[in-house]
Amino acid sequence: MDRPSDPAGRTTYLVERYWPGVDVDALRAAIPRLEAAAREMTDEGTRVEHVGSILMPVDEVVFSLFTASDPAAVRRLNERADLPVDRIATAIALLGDRPAQEERTHR
């Protein structure tokens, strides 16, 4: 199976995490841990990047996108950040190039 990858040969992965009690403050507090773990791993030679996360508060679920060479790197990054991981799946992310909030406020 072909895996979509970026120009650096990294694949995009979606992490699904069921996180009882999660709210926007908990997710905001977790993002710096993800970013720090990604920097540490990259400095150690495993390039992995947190692309972004989406909170589904009613479902107590967070979806996070990462780019990495393999799913094991994504799992290690989340373990370093002390975050739950229920599933890691290869993903194709089609991200817009303009901030959605800014666009809405200008209409």
Does residue 89 carry a pLDDT above 50?
A: yes
pTM: 0.80
The CATH number of the domain holding residue 78 is 3.30.70.3090
Q: How many domains are there within the chain?
A: 1
Residue 94 lies in a domain: yes
Mean pLDDT throughout 8-30? 92
Does residue 4 carry a pLDDT above 80?
A: no
Residue 4 lies in a domain: no
Residue 6 lies in a domain: no
Residue 3 lies in a domain: no
Torsion angle in degrees (nearest 10) through CA of 68, 72, 75, 80: -90
Number of helical (H) and strand (E) elements in the chain, helices listed first: 3, 4
Does residue 106 carry a pLDDT above 60?
A: no
Residue 62 belongs to what domain range? 11-105
**How many angstroms separate the CA atoms of 34 and 49, rounded?**
9
Residue 34 lies in a domain: yes
Q: What is the pLDDT of residues 22-54, one digit of tens each?
A: 999 999 999 999 999 999 999 999 999 999 999
